[in-house]
Each structure stands twice: as structure tokens, then as C-alpha cells.
Structure 1
Amino acid sequence: MMQKGLPITSVSLDVALRQKRPILRECKICGACAKYSYYGAIVCHSCKVFFRRNITEDLIKRRCDYENQCEININNRRLCSPCRLAKCFAVGMSKDMIRDCQPSNHGKNQKRFLNVLNSTTPIRYQQIPALNPLSFNQSILSREQWILLSNLIHNFDEHSGYSYIQRFVHEQNLLPVKFRYRYSAVSEFFLSIMNNIQNVFEKNRDYLSLPHNDRLTLTRTTVKFTTSIGGMFLVGQMHLYDNSSFYRSAECVFRPESVATTKRIIDQFDFDCTFMKLALATIAFTTTNYTIYSESAPELINAKAILPTQDMYTEIVWRYLLYRYNYKEAIVRLMNVVQCMLLVSNAIVEAHDSKQFIELVDNVVEQTQQKFRI
């Protein structure tokens, strides 16, 4: 604190401003953006709330199903509570630093929380609070299904190029306002996003296990759908369609009707990112050809080679929903995704008249074919 009577200098003002302005850092638990220290460590608000809610003896005694080897990051931090809590302790968070942690209040809060979980009223189009998966029946998903689920999520997080989107937004925001999100930059951005989404499916082990011709046919059949819905999901994470400059450039790349439909789809997407990533993996193995009529004969898909994977992924999606939500909520979420898929079909039909969209899709297919040749 400045002593009374001392003159206020530019240096002292600069120090005071730096003290008021929090320095952005990474959360020690999940790597998300963090500003302050909570309970002994610099963590984000989500991890702070998680630690306060779960610092009970019951959770501490629980064990991870995978020998405490789960990697905790911003994308999967809700999948394993024991490993997340163990990491909280490892970085220095302490139960003793939580104020007013009274057992009686905790019991009331827990009872109120269970009443919310048991409610039959579905919650739609709003953020769903994080649930503790350890409170559900572990037998819903087998060990093999958990491993496959984890691999699918990890594959998406590693190859979808989310860091590229963050870098793109950061670089655009550094430009003068009138130069941000120009047509050329946004067009190149969409091409990169579509290639990254396609790369996710090309790295899938079940996709690589298909014969060469089946992979090419599946790619050409599903590429419009998978890259479109995957791109919408990623762009929606950064709320880019809320930016008027980006929106106008997107209308030049696609048709205005298609962009308007895309915005409605993004607003309707499920907030459970794990569920959406699993749904995308399932869509990549669909055997239904996209509804665009052309003069050329449609390619025939080897359903016998693809349907087993599609059935396996569909079962994992459904079991995951039952694992995380009640039965009625699982149905609501599944039907919401089906509705989004139908809207995506409409958006692609509208965008199909755009030359730029066709060129983007052809570019993705061509690059995929080149990889196969190599």
C-alpha cells in the first residue's frame, strides 16, 4: 500500500494497474484458462468447483478403473473424477483451505443434487451441470467399450485441429477491425477445418482396417456430411458465427441460406462434448448415401464391412448416454442429434449450389486419395 503523502508516479500507477489486472495462466489440473489461485493452486473455475464439491472421504476412497493412469485435460476432465481429484491434491490443493465446509450443509446440497438427477423433466438447449459418473452403474459399459470410447475421444482431440482454430481467432483479433475475417482467410480456414475433421476419421483404427476400395467409397459418400457437422461442432465451440465479419465471409463461401441454417444447428448442438464426438465417429461409418441427385451412378458401399463398426459405435453412444444421464434424458439427447443431422442435410443441400463449397469438398477428397496412394 502507498504511504500517505508520497507523490503518485507513473511507475506506482503501472504497478497498481498490474495488481488489479489478473494475469492469464493455465489451470494446473486441466490446462484451461485460469486467473486466480484457489485452495492452494492456480486452477480454473471449473476445477475449483469440482474440488469443492467432491472433497469427500467417499470419493477419495474410490479407485480409477484404469490404474490411475488417466490424463486430465480440458476435453476429458469430466470422464474420471478419481484421477482429477488426485491431480488436485498433487498440484497442492488442500481441503483445509475450504471455508465453511460443514458436513450438514454438504448433506443437504447432496440431497438437493440427487433430486435434480432424479427429476423426469428433460433439460434442453442449456448447459447441463457436470455429473459425477461414479454414481452410475459401472456395468453399463464394459472395459473394452470404455477403452474404445477413450480411444475415440483421444483421436478426435489429437487430430481435429482445435488448437488451429484458437490460433486463427487469435491472429485475426490482432488485425485492425476492417481487415479481420476477410473472405480469403475464412475460405482457407474452412478448408483446413474440413481436412482436419477428415483426418480424424482417417486415423480411426476401424477405418484403417477396411479394404482400400471400401475406404475410398466411404470417404466419398460421407465426406460432405462428416466434415460439415464436424466443422460446425468445432466452429460452435469458438462462437465464430456470432462474429458479424466472420458470418458475412461465410455467406460468401457458402450460400446465405446455408449459413443461416448452420447457425441454427450450432445453437441446437448438445453441450456434452463427449457425446458429440462419439456421435461424429458413428456418422463417419454411415452407409446411407448423401441426398444429392447427380447424373452419375452412386457408388456401392460394402455394408457387410462397415455395418459391424456402425453397430458397435451406436451401442457405445447409447450406453454412454445411459451411463451419464437418466433414460428419458438419454432419449431426448439422441433425438436432438437426429434432428440436427436432418438439419445438416438441409444445410448441405443449400450449400451444394455454391461453387466454393464443391471445391472445398473436392479438395478434401483429393487430398485423402493422395494419402492413400502414398
Structure 2
Amino acid sequence: MSSKRKLPVSYSSQEINTDSNVNKSESSSRSNTCRICGDTARIINYGALSCQSCKTFFRRNGFRPDSVRLCNFDKCCEINMQTRHTCTACRLAKCFMMGMSSDLIRKEDTKKLKRTSSLKQNSTTDQSTSQDITVHTVLQIVTSNTSNILHSDQSSHFDSQWTLLSNIVHSHDTFSTMSQMLITVNSLPALSGEAHSIVINPIEIINQMCISMQSFISSSPDFRILTLSEQTSLFERNLHCVIAFYSTLFFRHTGILRIPEYLNAFITIYGSDIMLSLRHTSEQLDPDPTLIKIILIILAFSSNCLIVNTNKTMERDSLLDGTFRLLGSQNVYVELLWKYLISKYGYDESALRFTRLIQIFLCVIKKLAIVYTNNAIHRKILDGVTARTKQILANNENDRTLLWGKGFVSQFQ
């Protein structure tokens, strides 16, 4: 991640109005840009001109800066509208640097309590206003209790789930080729014309993505406890879709579709409409990579996440008749996904993020169905991957070492 950009100087104490509801004309004379993330902002909240998202974020985290998740990038994350949800530690640090103060949260709460008390004692108060305040208070209590339950759950089951999360992320990153792709992209200007044609090879890039996801799925004990025929069936059902969804993360992280040479190379195989649509989809993907990695393992153990029937005898295979074999894995990973969302983003934002992910996923599988049906080159690539995967599974049939996954979790229950 790039180094943190130079931050503007925070307001002086004379400029700060301690009331969060500052007159709009005063704030607009300063700016209409959030000092934390750059989004549209109209008023000063808790000591700094900020948008509603950053106001809510600071209210949720301002009292407990020591309890937020640590930064994984040496506290040098750039905070903007696209990345503000990625690193809690750097975003909170920037809030404080821009002049936000947790003391002003207490002052606002005190004012609200006094205002509520006054409304209750005033018999002429508009009843609808009182109801709004009551509903708002109840929602705050529910949100607070949900957060407290998650953070106070210190059971071994809860701990093992976060161990499982760490294992998923580590396994993905171990087999991912995105870091190597970034190195290649950065060295591109220094390469000769002949080397360009070797490096900019879309078929090889797709093959590497396929190998990455095949290895990622195979490393789970949930996969290894299946029989050879069940493993083969699972890959035939889901590997194509997992690769397609992974490609959105791959293209966003590496940025290669913003490089004309790479984009044109992929267009020669898939056409401009598909590639421009995929580039747009990858840019709309949730900025939290951990979230995408959990989704990938959920898709891997789906009953069937490809809407095209690639195997005419699939309806007669044993895994389809006994999909209960997958239910344990599905339950564990879906529960992990939701707990991760709730603990990091709260209920409301989690619901919105999950909804957007579903929309993107549906868009991806729709495009995948079109490509697989109409593009012979793509079909040949993935059919070749499936054939090689079957051979690898057959060669490793006796290898049943558990690495991580549901089987790993059961040790702690």
C-alpha cells in the first residue's frame, strides 16, 4: 500500500465549535470536504469537518482507541473514500490528528439527555419528535449490545473461529500470485519488446489464477476428507465460478486492466464488452480483501455455484445426492463471514456490504455463463485446468493431512 499522503493542518481551537451541529453557513465557508476521507462534508463533528460516515466511525471507536485492530502496514495507510473501511487504526489516528476529540462525544450525549428530559417534562412537546428520539435511543442500545456480545465472547469456540479466519487468509496469500504479478507490472517499463509478449500473456495469467485457487481449496481439510470422486465433483461444480470471482480481486489488486497492454491482450480473447465490464466490476468490489477471501472459501464448498451444466452426468453423482456432506463446511464459513462483518462494521453496514457483494457475485456468474457458453478459448482453458486437477487429485489420493478448516475448528469445541 502506498505511503500515507501529507495530511492538512488541523483547525486551531478558536476555529472549532464544540457543538456537533454547527451552523451550515459557517462550515461551508471553510470547505465542503471531509478532513478524514475526502467525502462531502457540511458540518464540524467532534472537532473536525467530517462526513456522516467518519462521524459515525469516530463515535463508535473514539472512546476505545487501544481496542481497534492493529494496522498491518506500519501505520502508513492512505485514508480516502475508497479505503476508509480497510484500516480502522489508521482511520482513527487520522480522526484524532484532524482534531476530533472523544470528550466532545460525551458533551453531545449530555446535551441529548438534557434535551430528552426536557421533552418528557414538557406536555406540549410534539409526540412524533419524542418517538423519534426514543427509537434512535433503542437502536443505539441494540447496536451497542451486539458489539459488546461479540467482543466479550471469549469462549474457545469464538477463539477458534478467529484462528480459522487467520488460516483462510494465510492459505490464500500463500498460494496467491498477486504479489508476483505486481512485481512483474512494476518491471514492465524496463522490459524489451520481446519480453513484453512473454510477460503479457493472458492465458498464462488465467492458468496461474486457476492453480492458485485449486491449491487454496485443496489445502482445506474440509476438502481432504472428501472421497476422490467427491473432490472431483466439487471442482467441476465450483472451480470455474471461484476463479471468476477471484479474478475480480486479482484485477483490482494488481491494476493490470488499467494498463493498455494487458487490457488489449485480454480483449483479444474475451472482447472489449466483457473486459470493460469486468474492470468496472473489479473496481466496485468491496475494498476489504479479507471479506473476499472468506467468500471464496464459501463458494468453494457450494453445492453448485456455476449456472452452466458442464457435466451432463452431474445430476447422478454421489455428492449431489448427499449434499449434507457440505453443510457442515458451509455453516462454519458462513457464520465466520457474518461474525467478521459484525465485529468490524456493525450490523447496518454489514448488511449493506453483504448486499453489494451478492450483487457483484450475481453479475460475475451471469458474465461467466455467457463467456463459458460462447467463448471456445476460455472453455478450452478451464476444461484443461479441470483435467489437470483430476490428475493431481488422483496422484494425491492418499494424502489426507489436515491443514486447516472445519476439521481444525472441531479440536477446540
**TM-score (normalised: structure 1):** 0.64
Give the alignment's Cα RMSD to 1 decimal: 4.2
Q: Does structure 1 residue 314 correspond to structure 2 residue 357?
A: no
Specify the code of the residue in structure 2 equivalent to 1:364. V
CA spacing shift, 1:198–1:111, aligned 2, 3 Å: farther
1:228 shift after superposition: 1.2
Asked if the contact 1:221/1:290 (under 8 Å) is kept, the reply is: yes
What's the counterpart of residue 29 of structure 2?
none
User: Which of 377, 385, 398 is equivalent to 1:356?
Assistant: 377
Q: Does structure 1 residue 343 correspond to structure 2 residue 356?
A: no
1:96-107 alignment runs, 5 A limit: 105=101, 107=103
What's the counterpart of residue 138 of structure 1?
151
What's the counterpart of residue 365 of structure 1?
386
1:26-45 alignment runs, 5 A limit: none
CA spacing shift, 1:63–1:159, aligned 2, 3 Å: same
CA spacing shift, 1:262–1:35, aligned 2, 3 Å: closer
Q: Does structure 1 residue 288 correspond to structure 2 residue 309?
A: no
User: Which of 220, 225, 229 is equivalent to 2:236?
Assistant: 220
1:190 shift after superposition: 1.8
Q: How many residues align?
A: 289
What's the counterpart of residue 353 of structure 2?
333
What's the counterpart of residue 254 of structure 2?
238
Specify the code of the residue in structure 2 equivalent to 1:351. V
- SS of the aligned residue for 2:226 comes to coil
Question: How many angstroms apart in 1 are the aligned matches of 2:98 and 2:268?
Answer: 58
Question: How many angstroms apart in 1 are the aligned matches of 2:363 and 2:2?
Answer: 33
Specify the code of the residue in structure 1 equivalent to 2:289. C
Cα-to-partner distance string for 1:257-298 (whole Å, 9 max, x where unaligned): 322331232122111111111111111111025222468232
1:148 shift after superposition: 1.0
Asked if the contact 1:183/1:252 (under 8 Å) is kept, the reply is: no
- SS of the aligned residue for 2:301 comes to coil
Question: How many angstroms apart in 1 are the aligned matches of 2:299 and 2:325?
Answer: 15
What's the counterpart of residue 165 of structure 1?
181
User: Which of 213, 225, 231 is equivalent to 1:209?
Assistant: 225
Specify the code of the residue in structure 1 equivalent to 2:328. P
**TM-score (normalised: structure 2):** 0.59
Of the structure 1 ranges 353-362 and 146-155, higher mean CA displacement relative to structure 2 is found in 353-362
Question: How many angstroms apart in 2 are the aligned matches of 1:293 and 1:197?
Answer: 20
What's the counterpart of residue 324 of structure 1?
344
Asked if the contact 1:258/1:350 (under 8 Å) is kept, the reply is: no
Question: How many angstroms apart in 1 are the aligned matches of 2:265 and 2:168?
Answer: 33
What's the counterpart of residue 129 of structure 1?
none
State, as a whole percentage, how many aligned pairs show the same letter. Answer: 17
Q: Which residues of structure 2 form unaligned runs of 5+?
A: 6-57, 78-84, 109-135, 137-146, 397-413
Question: How many angstroms apart in 1 are the aligned matches of 2:159 and 2:4?
Answer: 37
- SS of the aligned residue for 1:142 comes to helix
CA spacing shift, 1:328–1:185, aligned 2, 3 Å: same
Name the larger-Rg structure.
2
What's the counterpart of residue 156 of structure 1?
172
Cα-to-partner distance string for 1:188-220 (whole Å, 9 max, x where unaligned): 122112211221111122222222211110011
Q: Does structure 1 residue 305 correspond to structure 2 residue 319?
A: no
Specify the code of the residue in structure 2 equivalent to 1:363. G
Question: How many angstroms apart in 1 are the aligned matches of 2:214 and 2:307?
Answer: 20
CA spacing shift, 1:264–1:59, aligned 2, 3 Å: closer
Q: Which residues of structure 1 form unaligned runs of 5+?
A: 1-31, 37-52, 65-69, 86-94, 113-119, 121-133
